[in-house]
Amino acid sequence: MIKNLVKRDIKSRYSRAFIGFGWTFLEPLLLSIVYYSLFIIIAGRPDKLYPLQVLTGVIVWGHFSKSLQASVVSLTKGKNLIKQVYFPREILAISPVIAQFCISCTSLLAVIPIMYYLNVNPEIQILWMLPLGLFMSTILALGIGMLVAPLNAIVQDIEHLFKFITRAGFFVSPVMWTYEMASTRADGKLLDAVMMNPMVVPLTLVRKGLDGSEFNLEINHMIYSISFSILALFIGITIFKKCEAKVVKYL
């Protein structure tokens, strides 16, 4: 069932688009060009790797935000199917996240020509940093989404709230800025406050995996982010399984 729902989600997303699946490359590339141009105007000359960093940030954050929003509305979006037959309802939250993961992995292929142009050669760390960063962002989105999906079935203001949260989170997460920018301008408690955002580490891991730069994340920040993601998934699944049968009457 998950396999069929994933196929349906991917096909339906680009079914009537002339460019079709090409939007998985074109959308993040166009957004990155816009954001990069704005940064050049505002901040002047950035690091030579900045175009790659922006493109990576846009793709990973897009994966997280779309996965989160899809899991938040999983029960309300699947209400017609829920009313017809019984099945494990967590499938409705898992399948769109898997579909988005497949799309985001395909989108990451767009960084290859940028890496070639910038003469960036990935190091061996790409084999663990890239998968770990994507995995952390995926389970974090799924966990938080499943945590609030039952509440959204009762009060659908939740999905509008999370649309705002993901838009605001774009600016407080390292999409347009990097961990190095934050660490040079903030230290001590201020840097710790920045690192309270659990998406800082996943975004930074994917970036460092692709550009081969030095791994300079503090171990306590790594432990916090990994623990936060795993705990969010565990709590989200627990709350979802406990509450989903009680809230379907509101659909």
Supply the DSSP symbol for 45: S
Tokens found for residue 26: 């074109």
CB 137 within 8 A of CB 198: no
pLDDT digits (tens, 9 = 90+) for 67-122: 999 999 999 999 888 888 888 999 999 999 999 999 999 889 888 888 888 899 88
Q: What sign results for the dihedral spanned by CA atoms 99, 105, 106, 107?
A: positive
193: its two tokens: 């406050």
Burial, 99: exposed, middle or buried (Cβ in 10 Å; 0-12, 13-18, 19+)? buried
**Contact (CB, 8 A) for 179 and 238:** no
| pLDDT, averaged across the chain | 88
Q: What is the pLDDT of residues 178-199, one digit of tens each?
A: 898 888 877 778 888 899 999 9
Residue whose pair of structure tokens reads 């084999």 in the numeric block: 127
**SS3 state of residue 166:** helix
Question: Could you read off the pLDDT of 46-63 as tens digits, one per residue?
Answer: 678 888 888 899 999 999
Using 50, 70 and 90 to split pLDDT, how confident is the model at 45? low
Q: Where are the domains of the chain?
A: 2-250
- Whether residue 173 is predicted with pLDDT greater than 90 in this model: the reply is yes
pTM: 0.91
